Structure 1
Amino acid sequence: MKVIFIFIDGIGTGNKNRDTNPIYAAHTQVLSNMIDNARFTADASMGVPGLPQSATGQTAIFTGINAPAVLNRHLSGQPTVTLKKLIQDINIFGQLMKMGLTVTNANVYRDEYLANMLEVKDRRNRPSVTSVMGMAENIKFRNVKDFMENNGVYHDITGDILKESGYEVDVISPEEAAQNLYRLSRQFDFTLYEHFITDYAGHKFEMDRATEVVVNLDRFLGKLVDMLDFEQEDVLIITSDHGNLEDISVRTHTMNRVPVIVKGKKAEQVEKEINSLVDIMPFVIELFRRELDGNDKEN
């Protein structure tokens, strides 16, 4: 079984008003159709008052722990010392590796950012939740050379930002990026890809830019779905940490639930329900546990 987990920052299940929701305003409708048919929606508040935020929401997704309840508040940006300790103690990479499974982070990091992050030279390059998780489990971080060799995906999908940053790279199409992610995922049991341009676009308050972001993401997801074999070995999981992009009439995050899109016949057999962000990691663990139990019985 091959599981691809795509984390998309800042998308909720808002209304379908094309004047305020770029997910439905885009001329391609892959993401909107996925949201409409999502198997689950998850509460991003997790019982803690206030607007859901990235650091606590992502920690909850990738640890299964109610991070806002631990801090007694929602926290934006990168994880603090307390959250880092939670992530280092338990995270989805580590749990899967203990089960004998192979995992990878498909994201490409800019060389200087990666160096600063790993050596803690610059507080502006503090690691995200997924980066802390990767460091805790000694996961290989991908750099610009990997992008050039089609061995990873940049967070903007196409690599435009890499080129704008001065790197001599060829910008690729969303479809080519999807092919790269697909090829990479064939080498691992669990492949993670994080796309956070969506949250930035939601905060920018600009419909044209937000719609452009959705179109690129739609093209990427559409090509990836076309390549995956959901009847046999592939499972695709897509979720988010909080709402934002679905309502650009406000600059802040939203209280909307987030979609949890699950595609693949093997995932349909998992009976666990997803009601909040803390339920996502246990769902993934159970998915693999069922697969491993089935393989043991066959042998």
Structure 2
Amino acid sequence: MNLKSTLLIFIDGLGIGKADKKINPFFKYKFKIFTEYFNQIPSLSNRYIEKDETAFLFPTDAHLGIPGLPQSGTGQTSIFCGINAAKKIGKHFGPYPYSTLIPIIEKKNIFEEFLRLNKKVAFANAYPSIFFDYVNKGRRRLSVSTLSCILSNVKLRSSTDLRHSNAVSAEIDNEYWVKKLHYKIPIILPKTAAKRLLRLTERNHFTMFEYFHTDHLGHGRNKGDMEERLSVLDDFLFYVFTHIENDTNLIVCSDHGNLEDISVKTHTRNPALTITIGKDAKILRRKIKHLYDIKKAILGLYK
């Protein structure tokens, strides 16, 4: 199917930090996406990296003119809805969206905007049955991405989709589904998950995948699994970076800093990391300065 496709990979809690392997996993574990793809590791002293005219790495402002540590609820609302959510409510807030932001999310989320343009959209993440039980009980403490899909009637993928290779698990390789949730599905290679995501991307105008384990690791959770989890993420991203179609645009973005400084268990004041790859990568890099620029920059490619 010949579509103008955009893939957004949202990675929670990923900033640009100090060039210090004692506190910055980017330097301790030498991510291939940095050392082999960009040939440089980003840091506060090396914020802007250009591979060529179709691949850029750069910082994005997550403070949004509001004092305090950036948080997920306002940061993600800013990204997915194209507004300065922190300014709207007068503070950073998270991890879930502030109640007064929900009507804005319903009307302005990026899925809704693409649907208004009669474009095909997909949220690639798979959800286990316990999540659907949670939602069916009327619970609404949901991330901005999930809430956006529910409010805009975008399909939330299930274990059936995961089994049929039409979705990607939040941890990429299905390990949590197998070892914690006891699903009888295979643990897969990161490149297998990447292939699934790329196939889904080719069938839609806009596809999104969300990865949140980076934020958990940054907060000190599952610290013993850090090297393994980050290796899975790196392999997954490296395959996507090196195999995405030439006419597809890729944006990797985050809502705030965290993982890049594991000396603290809170979010950081560092800029969020953003990567653009594809034929319009330079346009996207030029237009994205703040979190709330990301949605407008993506939609601008379709207008």
Taking structure 1 as the reference length, what is the TM-score of the superposition? 0.89
CA contact (8 A) 1:64 1:280 kept: yes
| Alignment of structure 1 residues 9-158 onto 2, 5 Å | 9-31=12-34, 36=42, 37=49, 38-117=56-135, 119-122=136-139, 126-158=141-173
Aligned-pair identity in percent equals: 35
Q: Partner letter of residue 94 of structure 2?
A: S
The one-letter code matched in structure 1 to 2:233 is: L
Instruction: Report the secondary structure of 2:292's partner residue.
Output: helix
Corresponding residue for residue 276 of structure 1: 290
Distance 1:271 1:174 in 2: 27
Partners of 1:51 and 1:77 in 2: CA distance: 12
Shift, 1:73, TM fit? 1.0
Paired residue for 2:236?
A: 220
Residues 80-117 of structure 1 deviation map (CA, whole Å, 9 limit, x = unaligned): 32121110021111111212211110000111212322
Between the aligned partners of 2:265 and 2:159, the Cα distance in structure 1 is: 32
Judging changes above 3 Å, is the alpha-carbon distance between structure 1 residues 111 and 207 closer, same or farther for their aligned structure 2 residues?
closer
Look up the match of 1:258. 272
Secondary structure, counterpart of 2:188 in structure 1: coil
Q: What do the CA deviations read for 1:205-224 (whole angstroms, capped 9, x no partner)?
A: 77653332221111001111
Mean alpha-carbon deviation: is it higher for 33-42 or for 190-199? Answer: 33-42
CA contact under 8 A between 1:25 and 1:211: conserved in structure 2?
no
CA distance in 2: counterparts of 1:281 and 1:148, whole angstroms:
31
Match of 1:297 in 2: none
Counterpart of 1:292 in structure 2 is: none
How far is 1:57 from its partner? Answer: 0.3
Counterpart amino acid of residue 9 in structure 1: D
Counterpart amino acid of 2:25?
P
For 1:240, the equivalent position in structure 2 comes to 254
| RMSD (Å) for aligned C-alpha atoms | 1.8
Structure 1 regions of 5+ residues with no counterpart? 290-299
> How many residue pairs end up in the alignment?
284
1:134 Cα offset (Å): 0.4
Alignment partner, residue 202 of structure 2: 186
Q: Does residue 170 in structure 1 map to residue 170 in structure 2?
A: no
Q: How far, CA to CA, are the matches of 1:95 and 1:134 in structure 2?
A: 12
- Aligned partner letter, 1:135: I
| Counterparts of 1:268 and 1:192, CA distance in 2 | 20
Q: For residue 3 of structure 1, what is the aligned residue in structure 2? A: 6
The residue type equivalent to 1:55 in the other structure is G
Distance 1:92 1:30 in 2: 27
Instruction: Find the aligned partners of 1:269 and 1:202 in 2 and give their Cα distance.
Output: 31
